[in-house]
Amino acid sequence: MIMLTKPNCPQCQSLKMFLKLALRDKYAPEIDIIDQQAQSDRFQTLARQHAVQSLPVLIKDDDILRACGPNETIRFLETHLGKR
């Protein structure tokens, strides 16, 4: 699974904190975080491929979660990674 983020993005920070604190990093080993600034080539390729226009997003294969609220995020992670 991939998470696309960028610096100075409050929503990106919120998602990272939710994954770390609320979900206790249980998905951390399976999420590859791609930062717009630090990994710009890979970020741009993935953003174009998935028509990303806002951040953060979670991507698993051809499925993309654009609205990363807590409930949506949990459902997406459980669907694709299977942990509860």
pLDDT digits (tens, 9 = 90+) for 28-37: 999 999 999 9
Q: Cis (ω within 30 of 0) for the bond into 56? A: yes
Mean pLDDT of 18-44: 97
Closest among 17, 15, 80 to 54, alpha carbons compared: 15
Name the one residue in this structure whose structure tokens are 């949506």. 72
pTM for this entry = 0.94
Q: Could you give the domains of the chain?
A: 2-81 (3.40.30)
